[in-house]
Every structure is written in C-alpha cells, then in structure tokens.
Amino acid sequence: MNRLFDLWIESPVAHYVGRIQVAYILRGALFVAVFLLAWITLQPFPNLGDATIADTGRGLTYALFGFLAALSLVLVTRRHAEALRSFVSTPYILFGCWICINLVMSRDPSASAQRFVLTASVFVVAATVLLLPATERELNRWLGIAVLSFLAVCYLGVLMTPGLAVHQSTDVAEYHLAGDWRGVFDHKNTASAIMAMLVFVGVYLARSGATLVGPLITALAVVFLFFAQGKSATALCIFIFVLVELVSAARTFRARAVLCFVPLIVLNLMSVGTVISPTLAAISRSLPVDTSFTGRDEVWKFAIASIAQRPIFGYGYFAFWGSDFVRDADPGESILEWVVVASHSHNGYLDSALTLGIPGLLFLMAILIVAPLKDYHLAEAHGQGTPLGKMFLRIWLFGIYLASLESFFLDRADPVWFTFLVSVIGLHYVSRFRTA
C-alpha cells in the first residue's frame, strides 16, 4: 500500500492534480481577498470622535492594489486574453487619451497622476477578479464566502465595538447621526449603499441555487440597511427591483433606455437642476421633499460656478476639493461654510465635470451609463439574460441613480465605486462571452 502511495505521489498525474489544487486555492483566496480589501479597507472602524487621526494606510493601499493587479493578471491573462483585449475599444481608448490630457492640464499634475495610479490598479483588479472563477459555481461559492465574511465583520463591530461601528453623539462631525449603524465605514451613507448592493447579491445567489447562503445574505444586508437609516439607499433599492423587472420585460433598446434614463434625468433636474432653473426650483418647492437636499444645494451652486470657469479640461483628476482654489473662496459667499468642509459635491456627474471637464464627463458617461445598458441588451439577445446578468444590472442601475446624490465615480479604491465598477465590467463580459 505504501509503495502504491509513493508511486502516486511521484506520478505526473499527481503533480498535475497538485497544481490544479494550488491554482484553485490561489484563485479563490485572491477573489475573496480582493473584495474584502475593497469593502473593509486597511483602516476599518475609524474613530470619528478624534479628528487628529490621519489616514496612515494610503501608501500600503496603493502597494496592495498594485500587487493584486499584477497577480490577477498573471493568473488570468493566458486563459482569458480575449476578454482582456475586449477593453481595447473606441470608448475606452478615447477616455484613456482624455485622462492623459487631463493629467497634464491638471491644477496639480503630480497629485492627479499619483491618485490615478490607484484608480488604474483598481480597474485592472475589477477587470480580472470576475475571470478568476472557472465556473459560475465557483463564482457563487467564493462570492458567498466574501460577502458573509464582510457582513460578519460589520456585525461583530456593531456588537463588540459599537463606539467604532455606530455613529455616536461624540463624533466630531455629523453627531446628529448618533445611533445609525456604519459598520467598518466612516459614514452610514457608504454602509447603506454597500448593503443595498449586497441585497442584490443575496437575491442573485438565492436564485442561482444557494438556498441557504442567498437568503441569509439578503436578510443580514436588509437588517443592517434598516439600522443604518439609509433612507435614500432603501428607497433606491426598492425602486431598482421594480425598474429591473420593467427593463427585463421591455424588448427594444429604446424602451429600455427610456425606462432607465428618463427617471435619472428627472432626478437630476429636480435636484441639481433646481439651483440653475428658477422654474425647476419652484416645482421642487411644491413637492414634499427637502428642497435644500440637506444643504447640498449650496455646494451644487459652487460646483456649477466652478465648472463654468474651466469647462473643457476641468481642474484635474481629484484636484479640486480641498485645493487652494476652494480654500481661497470668496469669504462673502453664503456657501463658504459648506465649501471649506466639503470633500465632494454630492453628485458624481458634477464632480466628473469638475475634475475631467465636460468632454471627460461625456466620455465617462459613454462607458458607465450608455455602454452597460447596451451590454445588457446584447446579453439578452444572445440568451445571456441570466440571474448573474440581472444582478449586474441591478447594481449598475443602483449606482447611476445613487451618483445623483453621492460622488464615487472614479474614486480610487472607494468601496461603492469598486462594487459598481465590477457590475459595469460584469455586464461587459456577459454581453460578449458565455458563462462557463
């Protein structure tokens, strides 16, 4: 018996099986690690009661995402070269060229270039992470592990260290959010957005056969979303479920575009549009909503006025908020208090125009807004309208609507941006390739 065992160990078959197992474990570990790094980050549970604590993990974040990008490329390039080459297309090439121009024309070229390095690494990671699983079964298994691990960390934080996982009255800023769950994040809005996206993941897993893990993830995400008091995320989550069913029922691309984009345009007109048009402002005041959008209208005014000063090239990639231009704003302006503390304009489309200019915004919208719906339409036409495609569609739709109230487009390793980007790339893949 021992002799047979020795012969098996020394045989080429055993070496092959061993390599397969090692490759499987490495791919699975990398898949889970990518999502946990993106969601939990290197500085989870920040202490919001101490304003002196600095971000000390930024350099390591750059290094880790760079390493993961290189490692994932090594693991998937040989088998999935065609999938990676599919990004060499006109929209991506034009946007890449514009980014290069924008980095040169930035008000702070070195800072913009440094920040874009992380964004590029995150894009590579997002483009390769979905190629790591060899089958949809592997994808579901690893995705379930990643999501449940993340939710476990969030819930353990709430139960064991509530001072760091729940907003407190002692928080330096926004102490009025006391009692709202935030998990590993620094704000309940980020936690709410991620939990809403995980609801979509849980529903997908349940419909794909994970009859225990799927409903469990959905339930845990819904409960967390409720205690985070994420009203906008909750309303959007419900709206997206209804919208996706309507989009699936529609058969033409034009009908799907109307369903997806008309409400989005109306939402932006009745929010950002109210600071431009008195007519829209009057209509908004007649609605049962906070017409200031919790003070966002003041920062929108400043952002729009700033875009008008540099409409073509913008201010450079992440080179506007926190810059001297903002800090030196006219003290007589009523918006100064908002401007001094604002880190973004609470609207992804405005921020994209601020940093990339209006041409850059149009290129970005071609990739993030128009192309994903075309991809889903093509996937449906090719018989790829699977639960996986619907999950990507839900997350993408949730993201483009959330961007009307929050800013996360191209925001380096931001958890919401990464999850949204994975859904955009997922739709890109399912429209071009059949899932294993």
- Taking the C-alpha atoms of residue 162 and residue 345, their distance in angstroms, rounded to an integer, is 29
Mean pLDDT value of segment 343-351:
87
Who has greater pLDDT, 184 or 176? 184
Q: Per-residue pLDDT tens for 206-241?
A: 999 889 999 999 999 999 999 999 999 999 999 999
Residue 169 within any structural domain of the chain: yes
Confidence of residue 315 (pLDDT cuts 50, 70, 90): very high
Element (H, E) at 246: helix 231-249
Taking each continuous run of H as one helix and of E as one strand, the counts in the chain are 19, 0
Confidence of residue 18 (pLDDT cuts 50, 70, 90): very low
- Taking the C-alpha atoms of residue 320 and residue 136, their distance in angstroms, rounded to an integer, is 42
Confidence of residue 327 (pLDDT cuts 50, 70, 90): low
Confidence of residue 281 (pLDDT cuts 50, 70, 90): confident
Give every CB contact of residue 4 below 8 A, 6+ residues apart in sequence.
Answer: none
Confidence of residue 328 (pLDDT cuts 50, 70, 90): low
Residue 332 has pLDDT above 70, yes or no: no
The pLDDT value recorded for residue 364 is 96
Residue 19 has pLDDT above 80, yes or no: no
- Taking the C-alpha atoms of residue 55 and residue 50, their distance in angstroms, rounded to an integer, is 12
Residue 8 within any structural domain of the chain: no
Confidence of residue 270 (pLDDT cuts 50, 70, 90): confident
Instruction: Report the range of poorest mean pLDDT among 13-17, 39-43, 78-82, 248-252.
Output: 13-17
CA atoms within 13 A on the CB side of 211: 1
Residue 4 within any structural domain of the chain: no
Residue 166, strand partner residues: 181
Residue 1 within any structural domain of the chain: no
Residue 3 within any structural domain of the chain: no
Mean pLDDT rounded to a whole number for the chain: 87
SS3 content of the chain, % helix, strand, coil (to 5): 70, 0, 30
Element (H, E) at 8: helix 2-10
Tokens of 84: 């990676």
Residue 3 has pLDDT above 70, yes or no: no
Ranges of H-type helices in 106-167:
109-129, 136-160, 162-165
Specify the long-range contacts of residues 84-90, CB closer than 8 Å, at least 24 apart. 84/127, 84/128, 84/131, 86/428, 86/429, 86/432, 87/127, 87/428
Domain that includes residue 356, residue range: 17-49+56-430
Please give the model's pTM, rounded to 2 decimal places: 0.92
Residue 435 within any structural domain of the chain: no
- Taking the C-alpha atoms of residue 270 and residue 258, their distance in angstroms, rounded to an integer, is 18
Instruction: Report the range of poorest mean pLDDT among 64-73, 112-121, 376-385, 423-432.
Output: 376-385
Instruction: Please tell me the total count of domains within the chain.
Output: 1
Give every CB contact of residue 112 below 8 A, 6+ residues apart in sequence.
Answer: 102, 103, 106, 316, 317, 318, 319
Element (H, E) at 37: helix 12-40
Residue 69 within any structural domain of the chain: yes
Q: What is the DSSP letter of 172?
A: S
Nearest Cα residue to 379 out of 343, 429, 430, 423: 430
